[in-house]
Structure 1
């Protein structure tokens, strides 16, 4: 099964944060900020994760389960403390009139971050991408107001399930990925477990989380 995230060793050297490497230097007064759609999985989702984790171990890959599940609507950007409230207010103005929508995430994919220092296994969204693109378009406008980097071009919207340090994509792609997809498709609750409604957008800045409900 996947490793428990609490078993990952943490320290103050380059292996801090479970071995993750910061993509930007931490400075006092700078707040790492991220906009996303939260996903609340059913209890049975854990059973599916355990089955997938066992398959990955068989292929020589041990991953750590995500503590929370979400679909990113921005990259992680840096906000100065005094920008946080104005930025969140901009998001509220742009997103507050949007309606909630259905998402189905049922395609197993493997991803790496830009620096290829982390690898993720995730569920790619097959239904709801058009709505997510609308959200990203509005979020991008708010980011531009503060001269911040916008989201990726042609994004692959997905729910990350688990991760590991380093570039393990080569071990997961191919037969391993096919087995993971078959395990998902064969799960008796797969159709229900991969469906959810996007009911709110969240912005996390440091340890603060701001919620923007959708209509």
Structure 2
């Protein structure tokens, strides 16, 4: 019996204290080496084109003048990993690691901390300029500094909570609707199955959108530090 509604999302499946649910994070690493020696398929060529377009977009967001070679691949890899884990959670009996704050906060906090340290050490004057938006009246400047400082500190939390909450919300809704299935008539059961299929399509879109949002916001935070 569940202790609470969210306990179904805890990584509790284990053998000899080994958390097996987190193994879904490693499945993507098993797929990557095959692309190095197999003949490229249409799916692989399409994925390469998507990566090339993402590289151009992240390059534009960071800035052509301040960008270092290979810096966009950090965000492309981040997007790919989050999207892969989001899609893995749509399969039955596979734990969605990105719906857990332990995973999302581990991704967001080191990125934000590295951007802040790089910005304040190398571009101190530029970072101070970010605390006061252009055109702010003199009387409001102390308040704007406090507001901007607080908004900078809560950035990793908002990144992590946004990803985890969006991933857990759809799964929770699908679980609640699925639990009502045994008590419905055949007519309502067919309606429930159609609704579940539509929710599955919606969750597939959310899996892509949330990984893209996480990567784009990380790119924008890095552009401020540069």
Q: Shorter-chain TM-score category?
A: under 0.3
Select the structure that is richer in helix: 2
TM-score normalized with structure 1 length = 0.23
Rg larger for: 2
TM-score normalized with structure 2 length = 0.22
